[in-house]
Chains A and B, each alone.
Chain A
Amino acid sequence: MNSIILRKDIQDKIEEIRKADILVGIPSYNNARTIGHVVKAVQAGFAKYFPESRCVLVNSDGGSTDETMDIVEHEAIRDFQSILFHHRVEPMVRIATPYHGIPGKGSAFRTIFEIAEALKVKACAVVDSDLRSITPEWIELLIKPVLSGEFDYVAPLYHRHKYDGTITNSIVYPLTRALYGKQVRQPIGGDFGFSGELAKFYLTKDVWETDVARYGIDIWMTTTAVANKFRVCQSFLGAKIHDPKDPGADLSAMLYEVVGATFDLMETYAGVWETVEGSEPVPTFGFQYAVGLEPVRVNLDRMIERFRLGVRELVDIWRTFLPAEIVDLLHTMEHMPIKTFHLPDRIWVNLVYYFALAARQRVINKEHLLKSLTPLYVGRTASFVIEAAESGASEVEDKIEALCNMFEERKSFLTKNWKNKGGLS
């Protein structure tokens, strides 16, 4: 055990444990309010579904100033009989360690991968520390497909409110599906299962000083698994409810990190996606059921106002890489009343592809380029909210499916211009 990123005491603990079958990692930063529930769910999952296996829980912490790590060390289900008739006697092994490197979820995952590799685990899972809806079944659903030896990567599948996950629904899912040909519905879900081999493979990649080490890790893990032909499936986990965050907290930074990582991966795996046509479903596990979801409040006026402001002020930047007809359409939309406000799928797909090409051609600084996408994304979200106002869950899925088909249909435009690095044709 010669890791340079693990502390001496953690290395000693690994020497002591020597080997494990299953590892569940929880990245955290000031999650004292919720992490106790997550630890208990993981512990119950181990006891209920993997009583014969040697299980390890790893908390990779980003320097919390609350009691997050203490809670991980000491939180436990005291009375198992209220949950299970029989339960394992062997206690769950816990490792709680601060991670090294650039602050972010990616660096936390790197520490988890290192420990997984050192313990030669067969299957791993990572779950968010702010989850309120996690149950012991999540552990089974994320680990079992890997432990059975049939799959290397398990993506989550959730029921979410129709207005939630709009970056996933309008950019990341349709784009990665069109690029790599696999219908992984929640590529940036945040809760994943993967094999020990895949964890080892992740560690061979030199990305830990890039944006991947921050918040691009989710899309990086999914894309790396898909593009390198690892066997991928998805498990239905029910509803994803987590600790309320400030939803307005720097949307542009979020968009930059996630979309930036997706675009970077397009460059890395250009040789893989350029030849892919259409897409295919991936095997899905878990019993699917309808979930009651809390309503989501949306301020449409504010969203459309942001879009209009963006069109007024940023059009000169966009003009350097967008064709005149799209710019003209954006100007037309600037004056549309809320009732008829609509950004068509075709235009949105073209916008995403033009931004991807502009990022590749380094038209302007990448951060500026991607942050300038924010008003357009907000406009698209507003258009979707208006369009889906009266729609049920299945109708919304149909709309997302139609958008995905449009991404696949227009992919030839992207492929053709991707090769032509000098400019668009």
Chain B
Amino acid sequence: MNVLQRVIIEPMERLYEKILQFLPSFLTSLLLLAVGIVLGAILRKVIFRILQAFNLDKHFERFGMEAMLDRGGIKESLSALLSRIAGWITVFIFVIIALRALDIPSLERLLEKFFLYLPNVFIAALILFFGYLLSNFLGRAALIASVNAGVILSGLVGKCIKLGVFVLSVTMALEQLGIGSNTIVIAFAITFGGVVLALAIAFGLGGRDIARKYLEKKMKGEEKKDEINHL
């Protein structure tokens, strides 16, 4: 009887007490989670309305945002996407608060570390997102400008600008995440410097004649220009 008391009943009683002690925290956590989900849904709707009132979609259309989202398989408008993200961030914040409310020390330590790192992830994601948009926009602008200027290698110019801007944004994002920050900056500088040097040498040696002919044309005005007044 005594053995049964010590081996089964007493631990069960202690467990029961612990559960009783833990239950309020657990219920609080559940409540917080529910509040977070409801608040997230409300916030999503409110932010969506505000962004639509400010005509955000129309403004960002000019930067090719809609086409970019479409290419990425996202059929939603930017306002809908941003409001959805805001909603999920709210839910996520409440999940963390709910986990902290459970009052488990090891979990708290883990959360603290994660929580401190989270802004970096968020900023890095933003940098990548806008970097991608900017690279598309500037790449296309460079391509069209080069074609209109009669540059034979326009396609290459556009691709280089696009890639260069995106690589720059990736570098910045990785630096933000603290992943080999110095190494990445140095690697980028070396690569970029190397590309510039390679191009300089290539043009200097390979394109010597072309450069001479071009300069001659420009300096001597040999290039036959149109005299059409377009307007």
Contact = CB atoms under 8 A, between A and B. Distances in A.
B162 to A, nearest CB: 13
B231 interface: yes
A371 B147 CA distance: 10
Nearest to A385: B228
Contacts of A374: 147-148
A309 B154 contact: yes
Given A305-B150, A362-B61, A365-B63, A298 B144 contact: no
B152 interface: yes
B228 A365 contact: no
B224 interface: yes
Given A247-B225, A303-B226, A375-B148, A364 B231 contact: no
Given A299-B225, A309-B150, A362-B61, 6 more contacts: A167-B230, A245-B229, A248-B225, A254-B231, A365-B140, A372-B144
Given A306-B150, A365-B63, A314 B144 contact: yes
Interface in B63-108: 63-64, 66-67
B65 to A, nearest CB: 10
A313 B61 CA distance: 23
Contacts of B140: 317, 364-365, 368
B137 interface: yes
A38 B70 CA distance: 54
A298 B228 CA distance: 7
Interface string A373-408: 011000001000000000000000000000000000
A248 B155 CA distance: 22
Contacts of B141: 367-368
Interface string A225-259: 00000000000000000000101100110110010
Nearest to A301: B224
A251 B62 CA distance: 22
Interface string A311-326: 0111001001000000
B231 A298 contact: no
A164 interface: yes
A168 interface: yes
Interface in A260-307: 296-299, 302-303, 305-306
B201 interface: no
Given A302-B226, A365-B137, A165 B231 contact: yes
Given A247-B225, A368-B141, A375 B147 contact: yes
The 7 closest A-B pairs by CB, nearest first: A252-B148, A297-B227, A299-B224, A167-B230, A362-B61, A164-B229, A313-B154
Nearest to B148: A252
A306 B141 CA distance: 17
A167 B231 CA distance: 5
A374 B154 CA distance: 15
Tell me the interface secondary structure of chain B in the complex: helix
Contacts of A309: 147, 150, 152, 154
A175 to B, nearest CB: 15
Given A252-B148, A305-B150, A306-B150, A364 B67 contact: yes
Nearest to A294: B227
A365 B145 CA distance: 14
Nearest to B158: A313
A296 B231 contact: no
B231 A368 contact: no
Nearest to B61: A362
9 contacts: A166-B230, A167-B230, A188-B231, A245-B229, A251-B230, A254-B231, A365-B64, A366-B62, A381-B228
A296 B145 contact: no
A368 B95 CA distance: 44
A363 B117 CA distance: 39
Contacts of B63: 365
Contacts of A320: 67
B143 interface: yes
A368 B224 contact: no
B67 A363 contact: yes
